[in-house]
Amino acid sequence: MVQYFRNVKEGLEAMKHVSVLIVLMLSVLIGCDSNSTSHVNEKKITVAAASDLYQALTEMGEQFSQETDIEVVFTFGSTGMLAKQIEEGAPFDLFAAAHESYIDDLIDKKSVLADSKRNYAIGQIAFMTTGDGNKVLDETDLQNDDIKAIAIANPEHAPYGKAAKEALETWGVWDELTPKIVYAENIRQAYQFVESGNADVGIIAVSLMVGSDDNYTVIDDDDYQPISQALGIPSQTANKENSQKFADFITGEKGQVILEKYGFGHPEGEY
């Protein structure tokens, strides 16, 4: 009899262990299914964007999120630096470049989907001084002795810096003014150099000046190559559908109205 109860006890213990294992296995399966569903339903895209778009895309992202319930997380920087990160596999879902040549290059390298390229804007540059400074009207003012530092984005990896250099070369003053040039990592940092007083003048994206209390004078766009801006979807994205929705928003009527508000021209070159 004792042996019988011992066998029953051992049987119950074994069943208890089996039950625990079943519960654990079900928990894992349910957890995996839950995580999978969460991933599929996650409404969020990460966007790499040129710094000239800071104001325009921030406003655009808020409006898009309100309408679609898709969260947009931005990383702003110089186009060249962001392009390099995407080429190296950075997990961005959309890339809004300050010049279409960077999108073309990434397409050639298979880092951006070829059929995703869309031209969305034409950029403009302007002279900028602070509210307390003298307004710069033309290139001759840059040669004044009281102007010690001129901020531009680095032409090596920032399209707006390249446009600034082209304008200075067109006016024949690049070599003369080179000692005064202060290079910023991107166009927004160039803006901050002037605003903080670390530069007397900046050649800045018009889009960053809209709504500012500082002085700016738009530079004739015949003095530099057109800043034709384009976007594309990185090949490694796992969220192509939502990325395409935001790309459509940027290039659609609502996005174009916001871009025009911040001084951008339409892709066709009409303002």
What residue segments make up the domains of the chain, in order of their start? 1-41, 44-121+227-261, 125-223
**Percent with pLDDT over 70 in the chain:** 82
Q: What is the pLDDT of residue 139?
A: 84
Taking the alpha carbons of 159, 161, 167, 173 in that order, is the dihedral positive or negative?
negative
Homologous superfamily in CATH for domain 44-121+227-261: Periplasmic binding protein-like II (3.40.190.10)
CA distance 59 to 57: 5
Question: pLDDT by residue (tens digit) across 2-42?
Answer: 444 444 445 545 444 444 444 344 444 444 444 433 443 36
Question: pLDDT by residue (tens digit) across 223-253?
Answer: 999 999 999 999 999 999 999 999 999 999 9
- For residues 158-176, give the mean pLDDT: 97
CA distance 267 to 229: 8
The torsion defined by the Cα of 232, 247, 245 and 90, in degrees rounded to 10, comes to 40
The torsion defined by the Cα of 239, 232, 156 and 136, in degrees rounded to 10, comes to -110
CA distance 49 to 232: 11
Q: What is the mean pLDDT of the chain?
A: 87
CATH number corresponding to 125-223: 3.40.190.10
> Residue 193's pLDDT band (boundaries 50, 70, 90)?
very high
Of 41 and 52, the one with more pLDDT:
52
Intrachain domains 44-121+227-261 and 125-223 with the same fold: yes
Q: What is the pLDDT of residue 137?
A: 74
pTM of this structure: 0.81
Q: Is the pLDDT of residue 216 over 80?
A: yes
CA distance 195 to 202: 9
